[in-house]
Structure 1
């Protein structure tokens, strides 16, 4: 892949193409997780390091890059056993920078999940951003730009990634050898990673499991609430996925209950289940349940699940 074949983010790609001959020393790629920030950072890096600035795939630099052995290209990320990207990691970058490039005219450093940089690491990086060597190029990918210091932001060019259009999502799926499905293009809400994840069998199984549980729900069964308790515990690392699927399902059921039309339904592959659910419950019941889950969606943290949050879920499900 190169800048010409990268799908989406046209304004950003255009800006990066213009910068190939004389790039700024620091870029921040910010936006929602799954928007292709890391991929575009690698694509741009390959262009920068290429002897022809074209990602030719033929020159020595491109061959080294494709073999993941380019000495002038480095990716920095949080270590699995650490909570942050440490100041020591940044000091290693600074040490490496003192030696200059080996094969290219630039040394490129991608810092992934830049919001995970500790404050001391950001301050250490800041010194280099203020007076960078002419051959230094930093690309920081970031899902939460608010966690970066204003001084780091002010010394970088910030490029904000936007949601993808339906046609762009379809093209990305085709590039990955997948047949674009209407309900997936709708459900992913312009996020390519979510769209690609839908083709994962495990994800599909989780979705079916959630929908089947909702179909069993009668609004009063204590035994079912206890089943939900164990299910939520098993899925606590997928709370965002869990709640979004429940909310979209309930919205579809509400639309169908009110209109008896399938035109507004998002989960078009699950029409039978949606119709069955809507036939079992009143409009007011579905609407209340939808409201409850939309409120609950804002509570859980993917990393910290409290008993209070789970108790609230069970209370809402039981009609309390």
Structure 2
């Protein structure tokens, strides 16, 4: 894949193409998770390091890059056993920079999830951003730019990634040899990662599990709640997935209850379950549940305070 075949983010791709001959020393690719920031960072890096500046796939630099052995390309990210990217990691970058390029005329460093840089790491990086060597290029991918120091941001070109159109999502699915499905394109909210995740059997199994549990709900099913609780561990790191699936299901049930039409339903692959739930409950009851879960969906730091959120969910499901 190269800049010409990358799908979406047209304005950003255009900017990067123009920058190939004379790139800036630091870029921040910012936006929500799943919009292709890491992929585009790699593609741009390959272009920069390519002997022909075209990601030709033929030159020695491209071969080294494709083999993940290019000496002038480094990816820096948080280690799994660490809470943040340490200042030591940044010092390693600075040490590496002092040696200059080995093969290409540039050295490219991609820092993934830059918001995970510690404050001291950001301050150490700042010194290099203020006076970078002429061959140094930094690309910082970031899901939450507000956690970066303003001084780091001000010394970088910020490129903000946007959600994709339905047609772009369909093209990405075709590119991955997947059949575009209308309900998935609606549910993914223009996010390629969410889209591709829907084709994962484990994700679909979780979705089926959630819908089956909702369908069993009778307004005061404490037994159901205890059963839900016993298997809730699988969602402790993904409350957003849980909440969004419940919200979309309840929204569909409410729309069907009010209109008796399936045209506005998003989960078109689950029509039978939605209709069954809708027929089982009143409009007022479904609406109250929908409102409750919409509040829970906005609960701050849900992944951190999972037990508190879990208690709230059980309370709502039991009619509390």
TM-score (norm 2): 0.98
Counterpart of 2:161 in structure 1 is 161
In the alignment, the residues of structure 1 paired with residue 222 and residue 32 of structure 2 have an alpha-carbon distance, to the nearest angstrom, of 38
In the alignment, the residues of structure 1 paired with residue 280 and residue 108 of structure 2 have an alpha-carbon distance, to the nearest angstrom, of 59
Counterpart of 1:192 in structure 2 is 192
* 1:57 and 2:77 correspond: no
In the alignment, the residues of structure 2 paired with residue 45 and residue 198 of structure 1 have an alpha-carbon distance, to the nearest angstrom, of 29
* 1:175 and 2:157 correspond: no
RMSD: 1.0
CA contact 1:300–1:309 (8 Å) conserved in 2: no
The Cα shift of 1:297 comes to 1.3
Secondary structure of the corresponding residue to residue 238 of structure 2: helix
Question: How big is each residue's C-alpha offset from its partner over 1:52-71, in whole Å with a ceiling of 9 and x where there is no partner?
Answer: 00000000000000000000
Instruction: Structure 2: give runs of 5+ residues left out of the alignment.
Output: none
Secondary structure of the corresponding residue to residue 110 of structure 1: strand
Identify the range of structure 1 (163-172 vs 307-316) with the bigger mean alpha-carbon deviation: 307-316
Counterpart of 1:38 in structure 2 is 38
Identify the range of structure 1 (226-235 vs 149-158) with the bigger mean alpha-carbon deviation: 226-235
In the alignment, the residues of structure 1 paired with residue 300 and residue 279 of structure 2 have an alpha-carbon distance, to the nearest angstrom, of 30
Counterpart of 1:103 in structure 2 is 103
Question: How big is each residue's C-alpha offset from its partner over 1:194-250, in whole Å with a ceiling of 9 and x where there is no partner?
Answer: 000000000001101110111100011221121122233332112111110000000
Question: How big is each residue's C-alpha offset from its partner over 1:150-193, in whole Å with a ceiling of 9 and x where there is no partner?
Answer: 00000000000000000000000111110110000000000000
User: 1:95-174 to 2 correspondence within 5 Å?
Assistant: 95-174=95-174
The Cα shift of 1:302 comes to 5.1
Question: How big is each residue's C-alpha offset from its partner over 1:42-85, in whole Å with a ceiling of 9 and x where there is no partner?
Answer: 00000000000000000000000000000000000001111110
Counterpart of 1:219 in structure 2 is 219
In the alignment, the residues of structure 2 paired with residue 60 and residue 234 of structure 1 have an alpha-carbon distance, to the nearest angstrom, of 45
CA contact 1:239–1:300 (8 Å) conserved in 2: no
User: 1:165-314 to 2 correspondence within 5 Å?
Assistant: 165-299=165-299, 301=301, 303-314=303-314
In the alignment, the residues of structure 2 paired with residue 267 and residue 95 of structure 1 have an alpha-carbon distance, to the nearest angstrom, of 53
In the alignment, the residues of structure 1 paired with residue 273 and residue 97 of structure 2 have an alpha-carbon distance, to the nearest angstrom, of 58
Question: How big is each residue's C-alpha offset from its partner over 1:224-277, in whole Å with a ceiling of 9 and x where there is no partner?
Answer: 121122233332112111110000000000011000111111001111111111
Instruction: Structure 1: give runs of 5+ residues left out of the alignment.
Output: none
In the alignment, the residues of structure 2 paired with residue 70 and residue 227 of structure 1 have an alpha-carbon distance, to the nearest angstrom, of 51
How has the CA–CA distance of structure 1 residues 9 and 74 changed in structure 2, closer, same or farther, with 3 Å as cutoff? same
In the alignment, the residues of structure 2 paired with residue 294 and residue 309 of structure 1 have an alpha-carbon distance, to the nearest angstrom, of 13
- Count of equivalent residues: 320
In the alignment, the residues of structure 1 paired with residue 277 and residue 95 of structure 2 have an alpha-carbon distance, to the nearest angstrom, of 62
Question: How big is each residue's C-alpha offset from its partner over 1:281-312, in whole Å with a ceiling of 9 and x where there is no partner?
Answer: 00000000000011111226354234332222
CA contact 2:236–2:306 (8 Å) conserved in 1: no
Secondary structure of the corresponding residue to residue 141 of structure 1: strand
In the alignment, the residues of structure 1 paired with residue 135 and residue 204 of structure 2 have an alpha-carbon distance, to the nearest angstrom, of 46
In the alignment, the residues of structure 1 paired with residue 309 and residue 98 of structure 2 have an alpha-carbon distance, to the nearest angstrom, of 50
In the alignment, the residues of structure 2 paired with residue 95 and residue 43 of structure 1 have an alpha-carbon distance, to the nearest angstrom, of 25
CA contact 2:46–2:62 (8 Å) conserved in 1: yes
Secondary structure of the corresponding residue to residue 248 of structure 2: helix
